[in-house]
Amino acid sequence: MTDLTALSATTLSARIAARELSALEVMEAFLARIRAVNGKVNAIVSMRPEADLLAEARAADQAPRRGWLHGLPMAVKDLAAVQGIRSTSGSPIFADVVPKQDDVLAASLRAAGAILIGKTNTPEFGLGSHTFNPIFGATKNPYDLTRSAGGSSGGAAAALAAHMLPVADGSDMMGSLRNPAAFCNVYGFRPSYGLVPSEPLGDTFLHQLSTNGPMARSVEDIARLLEVMAHPDPRLPHARPAEPFAQDLDRDPKGARIGWLGDWGGAYPMEPGILALCEAALAGFTELGAIVEPVAPPFPAEKIWEAWTTLRSFAIAGSVGPLYADPRTRALLKPEMLWEVERGLALSAMEVHRASVIRSQYFARLAELFTRYDALALPSAQVWPFPIDWRFPETVAGRPMDSYHRWMEVVVPVSLVGLPALALPAGFGAAGLPMGLQLFGPRGADRAILRLGQAYHRATDWPARQPPSF
């Protein structure tokens, strides 16, 4: 008998559309999987009652098809407001909040026919690439339950790896789609900034660091979910036009030029085995006819980090500042959040300006590099999945980290300038733990990056290697 939870979302969607499967059958299969697995992994939280979900699936079977997600179960990352579902942002401040309306992301998923079953776990306010919070605890890595699933989309990545969801949404400021994808042997896609709309609230001009994006066990599922999530919103100044990302996805990568940045000339310390595994993954592109060659760092890593930490603290202080200003809610913020907000509040306007000038210079330098390369590549993480009881790695390859997030510095060259990046599974290390590679291109090259990823997936299909404990 076919295990429905092992099928791609694309296959499930097509079979439901053809009435070869019912939404009820699909819901029953995923609920059974969640009952069997989620108690060990702790990836899905705030689950709705099963009776309600089964009733909604039956109704979907009787209703006109609404879109690609029609009848498919989804759990939304717990940073988004979802009508009728507890939405906490991983913070005790919002522990009991049940929104009365959906935000833009949840509304888009519902409009495409998704049945929203609950939330996926996240760190407090999505801060930090390790998924734990005081409300729900830590999400464990399905490939080793003693290890982190990464973050901040760790709940989404772990749920996909353990086959508790067919497809998932996530978000990415500092690698939050890419790091957990690497740790959990799935795909995560950070789209060009502005392609997937955010909430039209607060500042929508200055802060260009964070975006929502899709996660899946195949690139085709990534592309199809991106089509659901991406739509221009005239209320947002940086909106980009959507494209049929899943159309003509299969393209021969022969002749494509990929530049390998490695450890950025030694600037980013890497635990043993990560660079070699990523280079082996890139050799797969060579076998497909692409041209892969090492590239010198195009910009000083310390300048990128300077700009990033300034603009990140500036953005976080702007959004969380009101909670910090109230002593009652300030007392409930975790130390890393207090550090970010206090740094942000202490910045001068000219310090923020200088950081954005650095960002602008770096963007221009990359534009020159992209005249010679179709894509650039970096590891998705600098460390293997680490023990679940750590807050964060304090050293990497013997080098001390000077902040709670320095160990994820390798994702910043993409995040700082809002480029599209696909996190590809690169395989497994000597200890059996997953790792990943990020492939990125110029703004607007989302479709081209997905096509490269599709060729890679067809040749490798690493997510088919399921967690041994399940």
Closest by CA to 433, choosing from 385, 383, 379, 380, is 385
Question: How far apart are alpha carbons 51 and 75 in whole angstroms?
Answer: 16
Q: Could you tell me the two tokens for 459?
A: 């040749």
For residue 444, the one-letter residue type is G
Closest by CA to 310, choosing from 410, 246, 403, is 403
Closest by CA to 30, choosing from 10, 18, 47, is 47
For residue 452, the one-letter residue type is L
CA-CA distances (angstroms) from residue 177 to 99, 154, 213, 295? 25, 8, 7, 25
Decide: residue 47, CB within 10 A, 0-12 exposed, 13-18 middle, 19+ buried.
middle
Per-residue pLDDT, 151? 98
Closest by CA to 282, choosing from 134, 122, 438, 390, is 438
Say if CB 95 and CB 188 are below 8 A apart.
Answer: no
Question: How far apart are alpha carbons 154 and 381 in whole angstroms?
Answer: 14
Cα dihedral: 380, 441, 267, 407 (round 10): -30
Query: Phi, psi (5° rounding) for residue 379?
Result: -60, 155
Q: Could you tell me the two tokens for 306?
A: 């300077």
Question: How far apart are alpha carbons 384 and 433 in whole angstroms?
Answer: 7
Per-residue pLDDT, 469? 74
pLDDT tens, residue by residue, 32-85? 999 999 999 999 999 999 999 999 999 999 999 999 999 999 999 999 999 999
Please report how the helices 219-229 and 104-111 are oriented relative to each other, as an axis angle in degrees rounded to 10: 110
Tell me whether strands 257-260 and 375-379 are parallel, antiparallel or unpaired: parallel
Say if CB 131 and CB 122 are below 8 A apart.
Answer: yes
Kindly list the averaged pLDDT for each block of 10 residues, start to end, along the chain of length 470: 92 98 98 98 98 98 98 98 98 98 98 98 97 98 98 98 98 98 98 97 95 98 98 95 97 98 98 98 98 98 98 98 98 98 98 98 98 98 98 98 98 98 98 98 98 98 91
Catalytic residue positions, numbered? 77, 152, 176
Per-residue pLDDT, 468? 86
Per-residue pLDDT, 1? 60
Per-residue pLDDT, 434? 98
What domains can you pick out in the chain, each with its CATH number? 4-464 (3.90.1300.10)
CA-CA distances (angstroms) from residue 16 to 5, 65, 162, 163? 14, 9, 22, 18
Say if CB 176 and CB 129 are below 8 A apart.
Answer: yes
CA-CA distances (angstroms) from residue 73 to 38, 151, 168, 314? 15, 22, 9, 37
Q: Which residues of 185-218 are buried (b: 16+ CB within 10 A; e: fewer)?
A: bbbbbbbbbbbbbbeeeeebeebbbbbbbbbbbb
Side-chain half-sphere CA neighbours of 409 within 13 A: 27
Side-chain half-sphere CA neighbours of 64 within 13 A: 2
